[in-house]
Structure 1
Amino acid sequence: MNSLLFLQRHLHLSARTFKKTPRNLKGKSSTEQRWIVRQLSDPFVKAAHVHNYRCRSAFKLLEIDDRYGLLKPGFSVIDCGAAPGAWSQVAAQRINSVGTDPGSLVGFLVGVDLLRIPPLDGAHFLSNCDLTDSATQTELRYLLPDGVADVILSDMAPNASGFREMDHEKLIAMCLCVVDFAEKVLRSEGALVCKYWDGSKAGQLQNRLANIFREVKVVKPKSSRKESSELFFVARYFKKQ
C-alpha cells in the first residue's frame, strides 16, 4: 500500500488534504527551497497538521504499533529522544495515560530528551536530560511504577554531520546505550523500538538485540522517506535474566 492510500484508509483524509499549497520562495536559498517544497508535497506533514500531531514521525510509530501491537492500555512506556513529542502523543493515546477511556487501565508515560519537550497531558517529561547519564537513568527508574517499563521507544538521533558513516556509528552507539538501559528496566516479555541508520555497524546492534529478545524485526515504515537510510529495529519478548 503506498503512503497516500495508507493515510486515506487509516486516517480518513480527503484528496484535498494532499493538494500543494503555493508559497513564495523568493529570497530563500536553494536548500531552503527544496526543504519547503518537500514539506508542502509530503502527505504525512499535512496529515500531522490535520490530526494535531507535533510532527510527521507520529505516523511511523502508528504504523509500527498497528503491525505489532506493542502499546496497550495500562502499560508503562519510556520515550527516549522524545522531543518534540509526537511519539509521546501516540503512546499516550494507546496506553491511556491520560485516563480518558474509563473502561481501560491507565498507563504511565515518561519521555526524556536533551532538548526541551513541550508539556503533554498524560506524559511526564525530563527535558534537557541525557539518557546516558546515570542520574537521568536513576530518575527514570524512580518515576516508573514498580521501577519497570513494558515498552521502550527510541527515536533518538545525533545531529547530522554530513559524513554518513560517522553519523551511522554515532547513532548505533546511542542505540546500544538504550539497550544497556533496557536490560535494567524492561519487564520480562517487554518490547523495544529503536531507530537506526543503515550501515556497517547495524549487524552489531541486531546481534545484541537478538541475544536478549526472542524476536527482532527490521521495519521501514511507509511514512519513512524512501531516500532516507532510516530503519527501525522492533524487538519483542525480552528475556529477563
Structure 2
Amino acid sequence: MRKTELQRSYLLIKRLFQTQSAVQYAKQQPRNLKGRSKSSQDWLTRQLADPYVEKARMMNYRCRSAFKLMEMDDKYKILKPGDMVLDCGAAPGSWTQVAVERTNAAGKQERAPQGAVFSIDLLHFHAVPGATIFGGMDFTTSLAQQRLRESLAGRQVNCVMSDMAPNATGVRMLDQESITNLCYEVLRFALAMSAHGANLVVKIWDNGDVPKLERDIQTYYEKVKRVKPRASRGDSAEHFLLARGFKGFPPAPT
C-alpha cells in the first residue's frame, strides 16, 4: 500500500473513532443526582456535555481551562522556550502544565532554552514536574509576594498569567469589584517584576470597570486586547485581557 493510501486509511479510521466517541459521549447522562442541589445537577449535566472536559482527560490535562491558554498562546505567542512565567490562581494546575510544556521548564526539549514556571494558589494542589508550586498561599498578601521574589532571585518575568477569580457571593456588583481588584493586584506585581517586552494575561468578568482597567494596562504595554477563547463557555461572563510588549514605566512629567 502506497504512503498516500496509508494516510487516507489512517484519517478514515481516526474520523470513525472520533464520530463513535462523540456519539457515545453525547449519550452520557449524570448519575446519582438524588439529594444534589439544582445548581449541582446543572453543573454535572454541563460537564458531561462539554467536549473540552473529555479532551482534557484524554490529553492528561487537569481541567478544561488548559485549552483557553493554549488557544491564546497559539494565536498571540505569549509563551516561548526559556521564558520565566508566573501563574496566579494556578490550582488545579492546568495552566501550569501548558506553561511548563511551552517554556520547556522541564527541560524535555534538548536544543531549546529551558524556562521556569512559578505557580501560586490559595488551595494546595499536586506538583507539576518542571514548576515551582506555592500552594495554600494568598497571592495578594505581602508574604506570598515576597516568597515569589525570593524564588525569582532577581530574575525578571516574561509572562504573568492570572486565571484567578473570587468566590462568588451572588451579589453581582461585589463580585465584579472583587475580580477587578485581583486584576489590579496582579498588574502591580507584574509591573515590578516583568522584563522588557513581557506579556500579561488576566481573567475578568464583564463589568463597567473593565474599560478603565484596559486603559490602565495600556499605559504599560504595547498592545492590549480583550479575548474570549472558544474554550470559554458561551454563557460565561468571563473573558481575558491579554497585554503584550511591556514598555516599562512612562517617564515622569517634567
User: Per-residue displacement from partner, 1:188-222 (whole Å, max 9, x unpaired)?
Assistant: 11000000000011112111101111100000000
Q: Aligned ranges for residues 128-139 of structure 1 at < 5 Å?
A: 128-139=136-147
Shift of 1:53: 0.6
User: Per-residue displacement from partner, 1:18-52 (whole Å, max 9, x unpaired)?
Assistant: 32223324413332221111100000111111111
1:17, 1:47 within 8 Å by CA — same for their partners in 2?
Answer: no
Q: Aligned ranges for residues 113-132 of structure 1 at < 5 Å?
A: 113-132=121-140
1:194, 1:232 within 8 Å by CA — same for their partners in 2?
Answer: yes
| Partner AA of 1:24 in structure 2 | R
Q: Name the larger-Rg structure.
A: 2
1:25, 1:33 within 8 Å by CA — same for their partners in 2?
Answer: no
Give the corresponding residue for 1:6.
Answer: none
1:17, 1:46 within 8 Å by CA — same for their partners in 2?
Answer: no
Residues 18-27 or 218-227, more deviating: 18-27
Query: What are structure 2's unaligned runs of at least 5 residues?
Result: 1-14, 250-254
| Partner AA of 1:93 in structure 2 | E
Give the corresponding residue for 2:190.
Answer: 182
2:20 maps to 1:16: yes
Q: Aligned ranges for residues 198-217 of structure 1 at < 5 Å?
A: 198-217=206-225
2:196 maps to 1:193: no
**C-alpha separation between the residues in 2 aligned to 1:115 and 1:176?**
21
SS state at 2:166 partner: coil
SS state at 1:78 partner: strand
Give the corresponding residue for 1:33.
Answer: 41
SS state at 1:175 partner: helix
**C-alpha separation between the residues in 1 aligned to 2:163 and 2:181?**
13
2:86 maps to 1:78: yes
Q: How many residues in Structure 1 have an aligned counterpart in Structure 2?
A: 230
1:65, 1:71 within 8 Å by CA — same for their partners in 2?
Answer: yes
Query: What are structure 1's unaligned runs of at least 5 residues?
Result: 1-11
User: Per-residue displacement from partner, 1:167-190 (whole Å, max 9, x unpaired)?
Assistant: 111000000010000110000110
**C-alpha separation between the residues in 1 aligned to 2:189 and 2:112?**
29
User: Per-residue displacement from partner, 1:35-84 (whole Å, max 9, x unpaired)?
Assistant: 11110000011111111111110000000000101110010000000011
TM-score, normalised with respect to structure 2: 0.87
**C-alpha separation between the residues in 2 aligned to 1:133 and 1:45?**
33
**C-alpha separation between the residues in 1 aligned to 2:21 and 2:114?**
34
1:95, 1:106 within 8 Å by CA — same for their partners in 2?
Answer: yes
Query: In structure 2, do the counterparts of structure 1 residues 48 and 17 end up closer, same or farther at CA, with 3 Å as the change threshold?
Result: farther
SS state at 1:14 partner: helix
**C-alpha separation between the residues in 2 aligned to 1:39 and 1:135?**
36
**C-alpha separation between the residues in 1 aligned to 2:74 and 2:163?**
17
| Partner AA of 1:191 in structure 2 | N
TM-score, normalised with respect to structure 1: 0.91
Give the corresponding residue for 1:7.
Answer: none
**C-alpha separation between the residues in 2 aligned to 1:16 and 1:228?**
29
